Chain A
Amino acid sequence: MLRLLDGNLNVRGSVNENYARELMELFTIGRGLEGTLPPATVPGDYFNFTEQDVRAAAAVLSGWELDTTFTSFDQTVDLYTTGTQKLPRGKVRGSTTNASSHDNEVKQFSDRYGNATIQPNPLLLNGTNATEESALDEISQLIELIYAQPETARNFCRRIYRYFVYHEITQTIDDTIVAEMANTLVSNGYKLQPVLEDLFQSQHFYEAAAGVNDDNFGGIIKSPLDLMIGTLRLCNVQLPDPTGNATAYYEQTGELIRALSDMGMHFYEPFDVAGYDAYHQYPIYHRSWISTNYLVSRYEFIRNLVSDSQMGGMMKIDPVVFVQTNISNAIASNARSLIIELVKYFLPLADNLTFDTAADDNAGLTAERLNYFLTAFLKSPQIDADPEGAWTFRWNNPVDTEVVRRQLESLFNAIMQSPEYQLY
């Protein structure tokens, strides 16, 4: 943040507010649930915080610069040992005993923060001079102050909810589910695990509206990374050994990172300081991942992995090995059972599947959709008078391995180059 949000330009007398503003707006207390706050009536009052609070926080954060030689960082210390300086950070301007560019006055916050003040701890000062210790202590006070606001926990929990459940949060959900999550977060000292455990065990996580099973399932659009890593892991695609074969490893991961860019995710380099649009951009959120262009790139990624004829990618899914490894012969040899089994592996909703159009009212996919998969699998092109019988014969004996491979590639492409596969 010293670099990205100009913290290193923030000095006493010439305060730079960039980091202080984004600390509140983007990273902690936030701007509230979009569209629900009453319109501001006083200029500079943003309901959760005010312009005065931004300035006061900027003063708290003043007087630091980059520590380009990592003097404050002991690389021999285990990152997970408590009570030690673990991560690289900046250093105060001046010296540790005279933080000369830090604003050492009392910082007055607005009534949005209960008219709180932050001031240096006299015990940590060097005479009247600020020290590195006193400046750090003020930052701790600031974080405590922000985290003491109920809205901060609420804002974190909205983000968790959007990430795991769905992007739409109504006022009712905010006042019930999100409020409960926030209570759990606060009462557990801001530890995330209890919140996630509660959420994953809640009825709401599995069904929201009455009468529709699994209602909240499949409502999240996979990020490019979810799509990629999920596919590679599910299909057990191995990367080269990074130590034994570093060149190949970096070639292949480089290829993956390029594919992520094509799908709209610049890996570790989100376009905005707010992060990827999918996680903050009201009102579309995760729909930002899907444009006509990005969808083509997603389908192309699958095609390059699955189709043996595609020389584009170095990594391959072998659909024959996948079926042999994961699915019993009894199921695999029956074309319809095989489709249903693969759909359960790959697509989010796969309950009560049937090929019978008269009986699919409670199914996760329509019977027409399953019949389409059957067409893509064995009938495009159709080379046998009895395609399903021929499949069983080829799989059981086994003969015509190239036909088997091509047919399975068609099926995998049909199932994974689909709107359904973009969801989970």
Chain B
Amino acid sequence: MKRRNFIKKLSLAAVPFTLGGIPIKLMAENSLTRMAGQSTNDRVLVILQLHGGNDGLNSIIPVEAYDEYYRWRANIAIPAKNSARKMILLDNTLPSDAQVGLHPDMLAMKDLYDRGRMTVVQGVSYKNNNGSHFRGRDISFMGGGFDDYFSSGWVGRYLQQEFAPKQYPDEFPNAEMEDPLAIEMGSDVSLIFHQQGNIPTSISINNPESFAQLVGELEGFTDQGIDPRGKPPVALDNSPYGKELNWILGLEDKSQDYAERLNEVYQNAPASSVTYPENYPFNAPRGSNAQQAYTAIAVNCPPVGWRWGRIGCKDKSVSGKTGWV
């Protein structure tokens, strides 16, 4: 499947901005942008999850229904005109009922859109929505319907299929795919990378250098080759103890398998040549109310989880070895 088809098929919207104290710093220069620079092509799929409540209607503002929008939220509405901070009209070539305005701080996204690099998917929901934030999030991670209860996520299943018949984690890394199938950063473990009946297809990591160093020196990781790796006695394999122990062991194994590789890629990468903004909002006048307000948000918000999927593909024509999707 071609990358564009993949993305189209999944209606994936790339959203290249973030709020919150830590992620701004992460974006400015972090290990993943650096490692991504090592890719021999642009086949990197990044999924950013903004955790928490974003005001969708003030990010993407309805144009044709602006009066109604304004009536419902006069106190917080983004001005349509006559203001230095009025909304940005996204695309006047769209049919009138599809016209939207962007929040005035979304200039960079307007630029992406103009270059054909961004799309907006609005009104995302599911049939028989039960009003639960948590169920809604689970469904978006699991990629199922309203009555599905999968124990896997849509990226996890995609990766399983993509690399079949090879099974993760037992048959990875291998000669065709020496990298982790996906990398996850942030403060939780997303269902999105889970596969049926085994550990998730992602490696969770913040700093490849310290990760490799710790995995290299901690006693808990130096036991490979001289012991049975804590395998439970066979009789206990299907007991709760056995199942949880095998789960932890699987993740311990993968830490060892990938720590050095990740660090190697990281060390070989030049520092990013892109200058990322350090402060949000990026184009608000210094000292403006808006800037202060967003600084307050940045301080009070929990870190936004963000994930970065490196998805290998088997198309060897691209780079002569494992490529990137």
Contact = CB atoms under 8 A, between A and B. Distances in A.
Say if A and B assemble together. Answer: yes
Given A21-B131, A215-B240, A266 B254 contact: no
Interface string B221-238: 101001110111101101
A277 B227 contact: no
Given A215-B239, A292-B205, A376-B223, 9 more contacts: A39-B128, A39-B147, A219-B243, A272-B134, A283-B151, A293-B211, A362-B235, A376-B219, A420-B245
Interface stretch (A66-74, A107-115, A319-327, A363-371): A363-371
A336 to B, nearest CB: 16
Contact of A271 (B188, B218, B226): B188
Contacts of B135: 31
B249 interface: yes
Given A39-B146, A277-B188, A363-B233, A369 B248 contact: no
B206 interface: yes
B220 A417 contact: yes
A217 B241 contact: yes
A369 B226 CA distance: 10
Contact of B302 (A54, A208, A271, A293): A271
B248 A221 contact: yes
B279 interface: no
Contact of B205 (A25, A168, A293): A293
B214 A296 contact: yes
Most buried by A among B149, B218, B226, B255: B218
Contact of B138 (A218, A282, A290, A372): A282
Interface in A181-227: 208-209, 212, 214-221
A369 B189 CA distance: 30
A303 B220 CA distance: 9
B22 to A, nearest CB: 12
Interface in B65-97: none
Interface string A166-192: 101000000000000000000000000
Contacts of A294: 204
Interface string A33-51: 0110001100110100001
A361 interface: yes
Given A51-B131, A283-B151, A419-B249, A303 B219 contact: yes
Q: What are the 8 closest A-B residue pairs judged by CB atoms, nearest first?
A: A219-B240, A417-B220, A372-B227, A35-B149, A218-B241, A39-B147, A291-B204, A413-B219
Contacts of A214: 241
Interface string B152-194: 0000000000000000000000000000000010011101001
Chain A interface size band reads 35 or more
A355 interface: no
A420 B232 CA distance: 9
A264 B248 CA distance: 15
A168 B240 CA distance: 9
28 contacts: A31-B132, A40-B146, A46-B130, A168-B240, A215-B239, A218-B245, A220-B244, A264-B188, A271-B302, A282-B149, A284-B191, A287-B244, A287-B247, A291-B204, A292-B203, A294-B204, A295-B255, A296-B214, A299-B221, A300-B214, A360-B233, A363-B233, A369-B230, A372-B228, A413-B219, A417-B221, A419-B252, A423-B244
Interface of B: 51, 128, 130-132, 134-135, 138, 146-147, 149, 151, 184, 187-189, 191, 194, 203-206, 211, 214-215, 218-221, 223, 226-228, 230-233, 235-236, 238-241, 243-245, 247-249, 251-252, 254-255, 258, 302
Given A31-B135, A292-B203, A419-B245, A366 B211 contact: no
Nearest to B228: A368
A295 B149 contact: no
Contacts of B203: 292
A209 B220 contact: no
A414 B223 CA distance: 8
Interface in A216-242: 216-221
Contacts of A299: 214, 218-221
Contact of A364 (B128, B214, B233, B243): B233
Given A269-B302, A348-B241, A372-B226, A361 B233 contact: yes
A375 interface: yes
Contacts of B146: 39-40
A59 interface: no
Given A39-B128, A209-B239, A366 B205 contact: no
A291 B189 contact: yes
Contacts, number: 181
A274 interface: yes
Nearest to A272: B134
B237 to A, nearest CB: 10
B219 A46 contact: no
A420 B235 contact: no
A215 B240 CA distance: 7
Contact of B233 (A274, A286, A365): A365
A54 B248 CA distance: 40
Contacts of A134: none
B246 to A, nearest CB: 8
B130 A295 contact: no
A32 to B, nearest CB: 11
Nearest to B203: A292
A283 B149 contact: yes
B204 A292 contact: yes
Interface string A12-29: 000000000100011000
Contacts of B258: 292
A149 interface: no
B303 to A, nearest CB: 9
A159 interface: no
Contact of A212 (B219, B236, B247): B236
A166 B232 CA distance: 18
Contacts of A281: 191
A44 B251 CA distance: 40
Contacts of B206: 293
Contacts of A361: 233, 235
Given A35-B149, A217-B241, A212 B235 contact: yes
Contacts of A217: 241
A280 B230 contact: no
A34 B214 contact: no
A209 to B, nearest CB: 7
Contacts of B204: 291-294
B196 to A, nearest CB: 10
B188 A219 contact: no
B51 to A, nearest CB: 7
A266 B221 CA distance: 25
B42 to A, nearest CB: 26
A210 to B, nearest CB: 12
Contacts of A25: 132, 134
A296 B221 CA distance: 9
